[in-house]
Amino acid sequence: MHRSQILLTILFSLILPAAAGLVAKAGDPLIVAHRGLLKVAPENTLANFRACLELRLGFEFDVQRSQDGHLVCIHDKTLDRTTNGSGNVADLTLSEIKQLDAGSWFDPRFKGEQVPTVTEVLQLAAQYRQHEILIAVDFKDSDVEQEVVDLAIKQGILERLIFIGRTIQEPQVRKNIKGASVKAETAAVANNMAEFSSALSEPNADWVYVRYLPTRLEMQQVHAAGKKSFIAGGTVSGNVPKNWQRATDAGIDAILTDYPLDLRAMFQQTKTPPN
């Protein structure tokens, strides 16, 4: 059996008992797993993302550039926390990064898991195009927009992506993304209610990215404008069922959280009739 298949089998043995029977229902917000299933597998790895996709969950991944110009999927600017290497991502070539172990820090059973390239992540996601999921692309570096959009178009999954990270705060990044493809979906941030109107009116933003619990009226305004809503940040990242429910009741379209399986379980429980 291939090493990645072995890792996936191990991962499923850990999470599937807890996730048994958790099937997304129509009308639920799309669930986006922050850096993947980071509580049960090493973040930003193919084993992690494959598990998300098998469970019909979306995920968020981070984009940085190696010293020799390749796009890799890793959150921190340095390699120290999530690999057995050290130093800045931008100071190593792709070949050097690929030699590092990106799994053992989390659990010895993930020894040998690598830092994936963005191409590898998008190729993996393209194998699951039959599922309704949302993948959030967090730009950590500059001048990567055109390349990522082109890669997504090549894999035929551009319509399943939402671009966040630097995108949500920098109008020029949104403009660059739309210049790469008008079909690419971007987001503009509203950190609070005072910023909602300006985020909603951003011409190059398809989504309003809120970092607070929105009202039903605000979500109605988003939908009336032909846009969608995405919530992230401290209000929903933790295991906070009350906040998840409030966002859902308001009409949010997608939720980014560190606890995607718990969120899925909440949706299942609220729709399961009592015995």
H or E, element range at 161: strand 161-165
Cα(first)–Cα(last) distance of the chain, in Å? Answer: 43
User: In which domain, by residue range, is 226 found?
Assistant: 3-75+116-271
Question: pLDDT digits over 159-212, tens only?
Answer: 999 999 999 999 999 999 999 999 999 999 999 999 999 999 999 999 999 999
Contact residues for 23 (Cβ-Cβ < 8 A; gap 6+): 56, 268
Whether 88 is covered by a domain: the verdict is: no
The CATH number that applies at residue 9 is: 3.20.20.190
Whether 82 is covered by a domain: the verdict is: no
Contact residues for 57 (Cβ-Cβ < 8 A; gap 6+): 31, 32, 33, 37, 133, 260, 264
Whether 172 is covered by a domain: the verdict is: yes
pLDDT band of residue 16 (cuts 50, 70, 90) is very low
Residue at token pair 């229902």: 25
Whether 17 is covered by a domain: the verdict is: yes
What's the mean pLDDT in 203-223?
98
Nearest to 245 by CA among 192, 257, 107, 63: 257
Using alpha carbons only, give the angle 102, 106, 112 rounded to the nearest 5 degrees. Answer: 35
Nearest to 161 by CA among 143, 180, 171: 180
Counting the structural domains of the chain, the total is: 1
Q: What is the pLDDT of residue 270?
A: 77
Whether 243 is covered by a domain: the verdict is: yes
| Nearest 10 degrees: Cα torsion 166, 81, 234, 56 | 80
Nearest to 231 by CA among 258, 215, 213: 213
Whether 69 is covered by a domain: the verdict is: yes
Give the C-alpha separation, 147 to 233, whole Å.
27
Q: Which two tokens stand for residue 156?
A: 């035929």
Q: What is the pLDDT of residue 8?
A: 54
Question: pLDDT digits over 35-54, tens only?
Answer: 999 999 999 999 999 999 99
Q: What is the pLDDT of residue 272?
A: 58
Whether 61 is covered by a domain: the verdict is: yes
Whether 90 is covered by a domain: the verdict is: no
